[in-house]
Amino acid sequence: MAHAPTPLRCDPVAIDLASLWNFADPQASARAFAAAIATAEGDDRLVLATQLARTHGLRGDFAETSRLLDQLEPLAEKAGPVARAHLALERGRSLVSPAHPADSIDATARAAARSSYLKARDLALEGCDDALAIDAIHMLAFVETDPPAQLRWNRQALELALASTQPSARRWEASLRNNIGCALHESSRFEEALAEFTRALELRVAARDEERIRVARWMIAWTLRSLGRLEEALEIQLDLEMAYREAGAMDRFVLDELIEICRELGDADREAEYRRRRDEAG
């Protein structure tokens, strides 16, 4: 297995992009980035502009993302490695990302995206930004179509996160363990997947992120069902269903799992009830 590059021991100068992002509302994020760009200079302006371009990709407008990134290329000639890494990373995302319909990605796009993500990784490491390098490495897993290759990239990203002294890089651990668990699950390595999802849950609990705690618990229950541990899976999904109901919401993925668990348990009445509720939820 390829090992992650050794992180350099220096502190990157970085803009607080997280404070400007609202991934649930890319249009609001676009307004925030546009306002920040108006007063930014130099590399900061370039980095913010790459994020503005990304907001269009999250809305499915990859043509506009590419157009905006093309306009930034001349600015990159005099930019530092971190700013250039952001540009390469967003170029990769404009080609291959979870936001793309699977049938819209061809081999040419995958090759170009892989090249961009590798460039972003190397530039980020040159600029001592471990979190940015991890972002690029974990995106390489989306370029791949087979779980073993996805697993290798996510493990490389995790190795870098665990080796880093930068808090922003360390915070990637939970997400990476979730991704590793998914790749293991896809390979029917359920016990290993369960171990990764369990560690991810521990990290989410430590971070007190309630929504991500619920997602982590769902992943564990999903894997328990795959292991045939149906009663344990049912208990977790019922607890999640109650939590969402108390919050005045419903999660379709929870209902889907309850349907499958009840079907495997042979409980036709409860299966039908959850199907009805899922259909009503739309």
Q: What is the pLDDT of residues 163-195, one digit of tens each?
A: 999 999 999 999 999 999 999 999 999 999 999
CATH of the domain at 52: 1.25.40
167 domain-assigned: no
Q: How many domains does the chain have?
A: 2
In this structure, the answer to whether residues 203 and 104 fall within a common structural domain is no
Mark whether 277 and 137 lie in a shared domain. Answer: no
**Quick one: pLDDT band at residue 281, thresholds 50, 70, 90?**
confident
HSE of 35 in the Cβ direction (CA atoms, 13 Å)? 9
184: in domain: yes
Residue 162, in any domain of the structure: no
Residue 37: inside a domain = yes
- The pLDDT score that the predictor gives to residue 103 is 87
Same domain, 19 and 115: yes
Please say if the pLDDT value at position 8 is more than 80.
Answer: no
The rounded distance, in Å, linking the Cα atoms of 163 and 137 is 15
DSSP state for residue 189 in the 8-state scheme: -
- 158 within domain boundaries: no
Question: Is residue 249 in some structural domain?
Answer: yes
CATH number for the domain spanning 186: value is 1.25.40.10
pLDDT tens figures, 56-97: 999 999 999 999 999 999 999 899 999 999 999 999 999 999
Domain-terminating residue out of 150, 184, 212: 150
Alpha-helical regions (H) of 187-229:
190-207, 210-226
Q: Are residues 177 and 277 in the same domain?
A: yes
| Angle formed by the axes of helices 147-163 and 173-186, nearest 10° | 160
Q: Residue 82 CA to chain centroid, in angstroms?
A: 20
Residues 6+ apart with CB under 8 A from 89: 50, 116, 117, 120, 124, 132, 135, 136, 139
253 and 128 share one domain? no
Q: Which domain holds residue 223?
A: 172-282
Neighbours of 144 (CB within 10 A): 18
Contact criterion met (CB below 8 Å) for 201 and 217: yes
Dihedral, 71, 74, 77, 81 alpha carbons, nearest 10 = -10
**Residue entry with tokens 């992120």:** 209
Provide the b/e sequence for 271-281 (b: ≥16 CB within 10 Å): beebbeebeee
Examine the domain organization and report whether 82 and 16 are in the same domain.
Answer: yes
**Is residue 126 located within the same domain as residue 84?**
yes
pLDDT of residue 235: 98
C-alpha to C-alpha distance for 222 and 239, rounded to whole angstroms: 14
**Taking the complete model, does pTM exceed 0.85, yes or no?**
yes
Q: Are residues 122 and 243 in the same domain?
A: no
Tell me, yes or no, whether 108 and 193 share the same domain: no
Q: Within this chain, do residues 146 and 182 fall inside the same structural domain, yes or no?
A: no
User: What confidence tens digit (pLDDT) does each residue in 220-262 have?
Assistant: 999 999 999 999 999 999 999 999 888 888 889 999 999 999 9
CA distances to 7, 136, 164, 166, 188 from 10, in Å: 9, 19, 10, 9, 40
Gap between the terminal Cα atoms of the chain:
44
User: Is 164 contained in some domain?
Assistant: no
On whether both 77 and 199 belong to a single domain, the answer is no
Cβ atoms of residues 132 and 82 within 8 Å = yes
